A and B are shown apart, each in its own frame.
Chain A
Amino acid sequence: MTGSMGNLRSSASITLSAWNALFLREAVSRVSGRRAAWLWLLVEPAAHLTVLMVIFSTIRHRVMPGFDYALFLAIGILGYNLFRNSATRSMAAISANRALFAYRQVKPVDVVLVRAFLEGVIQLFVGLIMIAGMSLVGLEALPHDPLTVMLVFALFWLFGTGVGLMLSVGSTLIPEIGKMANLCFIPLYFVSGVLFSPAMVPPALRDWLLLNPVMQGLELARAAFSPSYHVVTGVDLYYLMAFAFASLFFGLAVHVRFARRLLMQ
């Protein structure tokens, strides 16, 4: 027996120490889990971007008025990845940390929130390195309105976290929901405008596409990078913001509602 526990700790200090421990535990397995795991975090989006660049600018000679096409694609990939990874990584958080619920200090909502936070930190670094890399090779990769870029990316992250909170409960209680969600992220990639701008789409179809808050967010981020980028009407920052906060609210609400069911084995 060594040391002493001191007095009973407050709820807030227990939660904070659980978050701290979970964050380090998640970061260790994410960054040093497999061989050069940290390298793959960078290689994956960079390879993604390279493949798309080869297809669209070399083979199909697509150009984007007022924009470097590489930067156009990079913003789409970074924004979409931030949203999708926050959602899918936190969706899997409960099953990946099942063993740790043996400690009553650790609650399901903790592991989901910590994973979403870690994913945000990782994607922030990936984004900064990619932007820096593109600037180094001579592209105009610095945003003219950095505050809006940061706001939009923060909303992507919050939206992904909210969706992840909801899906983590859904996929734990009904495993089919997790499988369906993973399927849905594939078509979502194509309708979110990672590869194209809504200005290139016929107006009738565009109105439908703009119902997707991810597409609206990508448009806002691109406009914040280049003042000459043409943003179609109907793109609104508050639309994405409403989705982000509504999903966070409902995500936390279902965690409260099903707190007991999630712990059952």
Chain B
Amino acid sequence: MIVVDDVHKRYQTEHGAGKWVLRGVSFNIQPRVSVGMVGRNGAGKSTLLRLVGGVDTPNRGRIERHCRVSWPMGFGGGLQGSLTGRQNAKFVSRIHGHELDIPDRLAYVADFSELGDAFDEPVKTYSSGMRSRLQFALSLAFDFDVYISDEVTAAGDASFRAKAAAAFKNLASHAGLIMVSHDEGTLKQFCSAGIWVHDGQAHWFDQIDDALRAYKESIAA
């Protein structure tokens, strides 16, 4: 279970404190619930994902994670460009306390990402599709109770997307998912509940369809 209670967030800019991105966001995510997050560009979806993932801290309010939450996958974060895919995978295994079964994890990541020889090349030589395949395989190599995905399913070619979709479906039986996507089909496919981020607030909907409807009405208005 994840508790988000009265979270406020603003960023420091070159000219002092910036505008409030989130103003008093509260919701609870129960175990094994898949949540889709919708909202306009810049509404604060990625900020909220980073806060839930523990990468950043709120200025006010609190976030409690009573379970194992993945890092936010997406946007090429979490990969060190000068290291190879394999070295990055080893690094991630170690910080997650898997020093002893690194060979198993590496085999899984190499197999799932289908990078082939590129797995031993520096990540900075990768295309964006290859990077997101590596990120996706990395996060699937570890057991989390909640996976956080920031548009990561949008990347990759058609066959990899099909494979990623199957893996996500498989996850849903034993883990929760929090995902940001601008693709309605993706959200409907994977998510049951929805969060609409609008005007510094987050509105919870038990049905993703309702969240999408509220979002669309706000654009039309």
Interface residues of A (CB under 8 A from B): 1-5, 8-9, 13-14, 17-18, 20-22, 24-25, 28-29, 33, 97, 99-106, 260-261, 263-264
Contact = CB atoms under 8 A, between A and B. Distances in A.
Contacts of B141: 2
B20 interface: no
B104 A3 contact: yes
A3 B101 contact: yes
B87 interface: yes
Given A2-B104, A28-B87, A103-B78, A21 B95 contact: yes
30 contacts: A1-B140, A2-B105, A3-B98, A3-B142, A3-B143, A14-B95, A17-B95, A17-B99, A21-B92, A22-B91, A25-B80, A25-B91, A29-B82, A29-B83, A33-B82, A97-B80, A99-B76, A99-B78, A100-B80, A100-B91, A101-B55, A102-B72, A102-B78, A103-B95, A104-B55, A105-B95, A260-B57, A264-B11, A264-B12, A264-B56
A17 B68 contact: no
B78 A28 contact: no
A23 to B, nearest CB: 10
A254 to B, nearest CB: 16
Given A2-B105, A3-B143, A263-B56, A104 B83 contact: no
Contacts of B97: 5, 9, 13-14, 17
A102 B171 CA distance: 22
B68 A18 contact: no
B71 interface: yes
A104 B57 CA distance: 10
A264 to B, nearest CB: 6
A9 B98 CA distance: 12
B31 to A, nearest CB: 14
Nearest to B80: A99
Contacts of A29: 82-83
Contact of A99 (B11, B81, B105, B170): B81
**Most chain B C-beta atoms within 10 Å of own C-beta, residue among A22, A28, A101, A104:** A104
B55 A102 contact: yes
Given A2-B108, A5-B96, A99 B91 contact: no
Given A106-B95, A263-B56, A99 B79 contact: yes
B83 A8 contact: no
A22 B83 CA distance: 12
Nearest to B145: A5
Contacts of A24: 90-91, 94
Interface in B35-67: 53-57
A248 to B, nearest CB: 25
A28 B82 CA distance: 10
A103 B71 contact: yes
B94 A104 contact: no
Chain A CB within 10 Å, residue with most, of B81, B82, B91, B93: B91
B168 interface: no
